[in-house]
Amino acid sequence: MHRSLNFRAGLLSLLLLGCLLGLWHLTTLGGSQAAAPAAMTPEQVEYAKLMGKPVDATPVAAKSGFPTLAQMGRTVVHHLSEPFYDRGPNDKGIGLQLAYSLGRVGVGYLLAALVAIPLGFVIGMSPLIYKALDPFIQVLKPISPLAWMPLALYTIKDSAASGIFVIFICSLWPMLINTAFGVAGVRREWLNVARTLEVSPLRRAFEVILPAAAPTILTGMRISMGIAWLVIVAAEMLVGGTGIGYFVWNEWNNLSLPNVIFAILVIGLVGMALDLLFARAQKAVTYVD
């Protein structure tokens, strides 16, 4: 039954994908035929030289119009054929740009986990500490992570470190809140049994509370990763330099819409892969009666 449902869902997904691609082809078919063979304007030629991009005779209409499926296919092949090239500050392969973004996300996310999970344990096990810290959490939690960027740039004075700090801030709250909720929701009977057996607090935390709260903790980690990957793109657009977010902004400035759409697809696929990874980990620690 489960396999049959997955098979039918997969067929439906393929059908929807085919419909979307067909609609894309129909809506861009006329535009590709009507593109005028005009050369790049002098301003565009000068800008391309300044950005280190090769100057070609691609029609202005083709650059500014929505790309066809054939153009997108050539763009995908071009980027995937050499994903790790490095020809200067503004001309790096999509693989390198992803590596920079994933590196920033990984460092900021790991720092947030090292702070949020132990602190969440303490908050969840102590009603007094929970009530004392709750006002601070409620005030800081709704603040947009990007609102911290000017302060981070002013104090840290480094764009890469500021991006990591923003990831740290946005990853902190879902993990902290879910960890505290999971720890506070552990069944009292299990804790009473541990006390009856005179289990030490440290052993009780690792052998009773952590396994019981693990699904909730991983839910918070999964939410945090989704937010972190969402925020890093916007952060890199602001600070520039490297990363998939900077790649999107740079290609938009170059009027290369196929590259922008390709980067958007890559961002979505990487985000889906990260979410699936945490979903598998969450399923592995979830107890089923």
pLDDT tens digits for range 205-246: 777 888 888 999 999 999 999 999 999 988 888 887 888 989
pTM, two decimals, is 0.80
Would the pLDDT of 275 be above 50?
Answer: yes
Instruction: pLDDT band for 98, please (50, 70, 90 cuts).
Output: very high
Compute CA distances 44 → 55, 56, 105, whole Å.
9, 10, 34
Cβ contact 228:236 at 8 Å: no
Higher pLDDT, 88 or 143: 143
- 3-class secondary structure for the chain? CHHHHHHHHHHHHHHHHHHHHHHHHHHHHHHHHCCCCCCCCHHHHHHHHHCCCCCCCCCHHHHHCCCCHHHHHHHHHHHHHCCCCECCCCCECHHHHHHHHHHHHHHHHHHHHHHHHHHHHHHHHCHHHHHHHHHHHHHHCCCCHHHHHHHHHHHHCCHHHHHHHHHHHHHHHHHHHHHHHHHHCCCHHHHHHHHHCCCCHHHHHHHHHHHHHHHHHHHHHHHHHHHHHHHHHHHHHHHCCCCHHHHHHHHHHCCCHHHHHHHHHHHHHHHHHHHHHHHHHHHHHCCCC
pLDDT in tens, 163-183: 899 999 999 999 999 999 998
Q: Can you give the residue ranges of every domain in the chain?
A: 1-34, 94-285
What's the CATH class of domain 94-285? mainly alpha
Residues counted in the chain: 289
